Amino acid sequence: MTIRADAVIMAGADNSGRLARVSDASYEALIEINGKTMLEWVLGGVFQAERVDRIIVVGPVDPLGNVIGRLSEAQRGRMVLVEQRGSMIDNLMAGIEQVPDSRKALVLSSDIPFVTGEALDGFIELCEEMPAQVHYSLITKSANEARFPGVQRTYINMADAVVTGGNAFMVEPDVVRRNYELIKQAMSMRKKPFALLSMLGLSFIVKYLIGRLTIADVENKAKAWLDIVGRGVIVPYAEIGVDVDKPSDYELACRVL
């Protein structure tokens, strides 16, 4: 069966971090890059994806509504704008609630302006080849650096490959509801590889340190621990792996887009 998905775009992050040095926009999704907001760049890629149907955007309704109002009537007809609730996991829940249990939710951040429909369709197609309840995108260091030389990312040395977590994952809505607390904890550690590994036990840390931890090890642990079938999906699309969360990323985007 061909997998299709509803996209959930997380667009509620305040512009109170490093990007405040390059833009005075109130929210990261509203930072302009060459005349278009980051949200508009992301939506452009999502609209190109043939396997994506509805698009749910979670964030501050009034400011984001101004951006969405500039879209065509047909594009607006595919969209749902949902008011943010505060924390990242609560915003995720707000978006997931709009996706029926019978469908998959393709969750994206709003700071990946390089994303393309080809990359999203390619990720979904790879997910189709390995059935699971949760699919998390992984991008190799070599793929990132080939597409964006010198880009700075946080990498994990797995036995399979040196990878970075992508800014897209696909999930069955019920899985998020049932595992709210654990997902909340994992999200708080998403850029701290050792903290994430500690959640999985000492043996995982040891295997990681000696370079023997595999993606399958993590998948098997998730199945035993949470009774969730998860898959780490290595994709060749750096456009999913490179986000804009610091001035050097912003400068890269201004050059490339």
CATH topology for 5-256? Answer: Spore Coat Polysaccharide Biosynthesis Protein SpsA; Chain A (3.90.550)
pLDDT of 198 = 65
pLDDT of 27 = 97
- Report pTM: 0.92
pLDDT in tens, 149-206: 989 898 989 999 999 999 999 999 999 988 888 777 766 665 666 666 666 677 777 8
109 vs 231: CA distance, rounded Å: 19
pLDDT of 133 = 94
CA dihedral 205, 208, 210, 215 (to 10 degrees): 140
pLDDT in tens, 100-119: 988 999 999 999 999 999 99
For residue 133, the tally of other CB atoms under 10 A from its CB is 19
168 vs 51: CA distance, rounded Å: 14
